[in-house]
Structure 1
Amino acid sequence: MTTGRPAGYSAISSYSRVEILHLVQDHPRRTIAEIVESTSLHANTVREHLKRLIDDGYVISAAEDRKTRGRPRVLYSAADGGSASSAVQQRKVRAAAERGDLMRRVIPGIAPELDTAALHQVDALVEDLIDAGFDPLVDETELTIDLTPCAQATAQADHRDVLCSVHLSLMQGVLNEAGGPLSVDGMRSSCDPRACVVQLLHAGGRN
């Protein structure tokens, strides 16, 4: 299944947004001023990027709990499916599980390799990756998700380390939000910069 969207359609295809995500993943509860200082982007540009990331469920905002006078600052964190949970991502996860269950009921011959909770995690992760412009290929036996060729890594080759780190963190956030035994174990090494195979880990020891 694929939406046919180019990678450029995605909220995370812009390196400026990837950079912002990297900042709030590393250090949650960032202010606009802190993000501006770290990225050298204009404050209005940062606000626009943050709105897009919030709308897509990648970032959450919260008012600062302050004990002194003055307006509380707005603090921004990456949605991680745990302490920083996005209502947008929650809705996406539920909808993905419902669609996955429906597909498995109506298409004969599907024999899932995974338990229901893990399947729902994969449902959510695959839909999130498709929305991000990828065409994921899942191997339930090997617990891998092949995203090759990664158009984003090619287009942003100078920032591949940051890009991959951000994407892996986003994938883990989706798995956390869905709840279940699967987690991201890392990327399989490759000499091809376009190659991207993500290894998952099953808490029950499957991989």
Structure 2
Amino acid sequence: MPRRVEDFRGLTRLSRLRLLHAVHRVPGRRLAELAEEVGLHLNTAREHLAILEAEGLVNSLTLVTGVRGRPPVAFHPVTDLAENQAARKRAEGARERGALLRRLAPELDRGGELGGAALEQLDALYEHLEDIGLEPRPDASQLNVDVTPCRYAFAIETERALVCSVHIQLLKHQLQQVPGPVRVRSVKPFVTPTRCEIALEVRADAASAA
């Protein structure tokens, strides 16, 4: 699939991966705390976080302290589409493109088995994986997905735990952002040197609620 001009830049720098990992690890921390943890200058960390927010990966919240001067800002992962316009736009686009694909190729439509809400979650998840260069290949059930992590080869040798942690959290957040019953059951990183496996599940209690 041709890559779109708004595909993620935020995950192509190791320093941004470290910042995103820090936000995932302890949500709600301020700029100075995050910059100190990852060893970045305040202005550099601010610029990186602005890119991550513009791409729908983090959300900033201005804190009211009653103290004069620039108010502090806390950073959180995006788990609700109402929190971030870029994340909302991506999910809406994924839903539209997924519906179009199923109209063109009805054999790919698993709505009768999984339900409409699950399909919208999967549309958002697959598009997220494509956007970050992981080339998702779902099986016939669409609940087991192989991905190729070649885009992050620059960091795998020295920062494998960091890269895997960030991407597993992003998988979970993508599914949280779109209401539905699909959850991550397991992730097996590097079952081969160039392939990871994602196993999803449809939770009966969540399906009933949806």
1:1-50 per-position Cα deviation (integer Å, ceiling 9, x unaligned): 35299x9x632121111100111111111211111211111112111111
- Equivalent position of 1:171 in the other structure: 171
Mapped to 2, the partners of 1:80 and 1:116 lie a distance apart of 20
Unpaired stretches in structure 1, ≥5 consecutive residues: none
TM-score, normalised via structure 2 length: 0.85
CA drift at 1:109: 3.4
TM-score, normalised via structure 1 length: 0.86
| Alpha carbons of structure 1 residues 58 and 199: separation in structure 2 relative to 1, 3 Å | same
Alignment partner for residue 91 of structure 2, among 90, 93, 97?
A: 93
CA contact (8 A) 2:118 2:180 kept: yes
- Equivalent position of 2:145 in the other structure: 145
3-state SS of paired residue (1:101) = helix
Residue identity matched to 1:184: V
Once the two structures are overlaid, the 10-residue window that deviates more, 51-60 or 84-93, is: 84-93
CA contact (8 A) 1:32 1:46 kept: yes
Mapped to 2, the partners of 1:86 and 1:145 lie a distance apart of 27
CA contact (8 A) 2:23 2:75 kept: yes
1:108-137 per-position Cα deviation (integer Å, ceiling 9, x unaligned): 433425321111111111111111122111
| Alpha carbons of structure 1 residues 79 and 111: separation in structure 2 relative to 1, 3 Å | closer
| Alpha carbons of structure 1 residues 59 and 190: separation in structure 2 relative to 1, 3 Å | closer
- Equivalent position of 1:23 in the other structure: 22
1:58-101 per-position Cα deviation (integer Å, ceiling 9, x unaligned): 0100111324554420111111238x832221221122111111
Residue identity matched to 1:110: L
Q: Is residue 51 from structure 1 mapped to residue 65 from structure 2 by the alignment?
A: no
Using CA pairs below 8 Å that are at least 6 residues apart, which structure has the higher relative contact order? 1
Residue identity matched to 2:28: R
Unpaired stretches in structure 2, ≥5 consecutive residues: 206-210
Q: Percent identity?
A: 34
CA contact (8 A) 1:80 1:170 kept: no
RMSD after superposition: 2.5
Residue identity matched to 1:123: D
1:153-181 per-position Cα deviation (integer Å, ceiling 9, x unaligned): 43212111111111011111111111111
| Alpha carbons of structure 1 residues 155 and 4: separation in structure 2 relative to 1, 3 Å | farther
**Shift >6 Å, 4+ stretches:** none
Mapped to 1, the partners of 2:72 and 2:107 lie a distance apart of 54
Mapped to 1, the partners of 2:15 and 2:61 lie a distance apart of 22
CA contact (8 A) 1:10 1:131 kept: no
CA contact (8 A) 2:78 2:177 kept: no
Residue identity matched to 1:198: I
Aligned length: 201
Mapping 1:123-142, distance limit 5 Å: 123-141=123-141
| Alpha carbons of structure 1 residues 186 and 15: separation in structure 2 relative to 1, 3 Å | farther
